[in-house]
Amino acid sequence: MSKKALIAGASGMIGDYSLIIVYSEQITEVVSIVRKPSGIVHDKLTEIVVEDFLNYDPYLQAFSGTDIIFYCVGVYTGAVPKDVFRKITVDYPVALGKAIYASSPGARFCLLSGQGADRSEKSRIMFCEG
């Protein structure tokens, strides 16, 4: 069975790791949503550079037929003002979820979070860096 995946934030630390799914035999297409071009080229990959993460209307056609979304856009707590933090961690994923639902209502939405991460590298949660 072929699957179409969408990765939001594919140019970031976690999203970059998520791009490994292009090598899965079960995934036939990957749509990557980024703020800046990644320079990554693969037959299965379509990259969309988005300026406004609250408006996905221009991209609804590209979202059609999506089976799974890996949402990897995020920011460290304290790195931006509280209102910007909320916009990035709440408003952005909600906007994408609504856009995906409009074109692919059966898609699964996987929100990858850095909850518990600690920039001092003394986190209780282990994660690797490439």
pLDDT at 128: 42
98-109 pLDDT per residue, tens: 999 998 999 999
CA distance 10 to 17: 8
In this structure, are residues 49 and 37 in contact, taking their beta carbons and an 8 Å threshold? Answer: yes
pLDDT at 28: 95
Residue 126 binned pLDDT confidence (cut-offs 50, 70, 90): very low
- Report whether pLDDT(130) > 50: no
CATH number for the domain formed by residue range(s) 3-111 = 3.40.50.720
- Number of C-alpha atoms within 13 angstroms, CB side, residue 99? 22
Which token pair is 103? 């074109």
Mean pLDDT of the chain: 85
Residue 62 CB neighbour total at 10 angstroms? 17
Specify the pTM: 0.82
